[in-house]
Amino acid sequence: MSTATNVFTGTGRRKTSTARVRLTEGSGKLTVNGRAFDAYFSHENFSKQAYAPLLTVDLREKIDVTVNVAGGGIAGQAGAVAHGIARALQKLNPELRPALKQAGHITRDPREKERKKPGQPGARKRFQFSKR
């Protein structure tokens, strides 16, 4: 069993999605759940959003990225992958932090779905009021 010498990991989250990211030295190969990046993120906007941290620090062709992502939808998963890549890049080289922070990749998007309350049809919607 061969192990990569320099493996940097990062966990990214958005909405209900969680992404576990592994970065290794390589030629820019990107895989998500065993599939190619572009095959997994069918729309190009999602794939661009997911590898945006690599473009910010100009390491797109120098690092291989392997991701396991679960939960949520495709948009939340793309955000979680981007967050995980940014956190792993920060471990790879702490000097990249200011550039990643400036671009907004380090900050976790805190927006979550609000829970449904009892006696209401949704989180905020109320049943129609009847005076009589």
pLDDT in tens, 86-102: 999 999 999 999 999 99
Full domain range(s) for residue 42: 8-103
Position 7 scores a pLDDT of: 93
3: confidence class by pLDDT, cuts 50, 70, 90: low
| Structural domain count of the chain | 1
Please count the CA atoms within 13 angstroms of the CA of 86 that sit on its side-chain side: 25
Output the domain CATH number for residue 87.
3.30.230.10
87 lies in a domain? yes
Spatial contact of 83 and 101, defined as CB atoms under 8 Å apart: no
Instruction: Taking residues 4-23, report their average pLDDT.
Output: 92
Instruction: Report if residue 122 sits inside a domain.
Output: no
Question: What are the E-state strand segments in 2-126?
Answer: 8-14, 17-25, 30-32, 35-36, 63-70
